[in-house]
Amino acid sequence: MPKSVYVFDAYGTLFDVNAAARQASAEPDHAALADHWPTVAANWRRKQLEYSWLRAVADRHCDFWKVTEDGLDWALEASGLSDPATRERLLALYWELAAFREVPEMLAALKARGAKTAILSNGSPEMLKAAVHSAGIAEFLDAILSVETVGVFKPNARVYDLVEEHFECKKSEVLFVSSNGWDAAGAAGYGFDTAWINRASDPIDRLYANPTHVLTDLTTIPELP
């Protein structure tokens, strides 16, 4: 039987985190990115996540925008790029990341059958609202849940608690969807059924729980049992 609550990670799952570097690299003012943008994008995302985990472990929480800035600074320095204007352009574009092409139709299908939908993200409320507005998907979401409510990043269990608290539902009613293997494992270990969106065909992470479903994109989410 289909779930009644569908909860999505934001960055990398609904929104393409590579879009900012890809777009900036095509702009004449930031041509120095042209040969480096895939590496910059990959390092930016990697450091953004690493810094969130390390801050959670060390109990040194900060707004997700701070780890986003810090991750970009590391990525740019690693590629030998130092233009302040390029840095500012990349950060500006991160507030308006494109959604993956299948996202609006997938969310609309879930809403059409009466399901509840939400984002649960490390992102700050301001970042998430901006991305949702830019992508034009606000009408398909019932809630935007941020870790700032509890002051710790995923995969801390207090973050996943937000879903049950908001929707007053049972874990068995929820499908949690993430493109991050560690996040899918965290939610699975918490007790949610999970779908890992494995766009890169990576191996499953060797962690304490495995995702219920492994998909290549979000298209078939409404068809899952």
Would you please indicate which residues are annotated as catalytic (active-site) residues?
9
Helix (H, G, I), strand (E, B) or coil at 214: strand
Residues 138 and 174 sit within 8 Å (Cβ to Cβ) = no
Closest to 177 (Cα-Cα) out of 199, 206, 202: 199
- Phi and psi at 49, nearest 5°, equal -70, -45
Residues 140 and 8 sit within 8 Å (Cβ to Cβ) = no
Alpha helices in the chain (DSSP H): 19-25, 37-58, 64-78, 84-94, 103-112, 125-135, 157-167, 181-190
What does each C-alpha distance from 111 to 19, 84, 104, 141, 154 come to in angstroms? 27, 43, 11, 8, 26
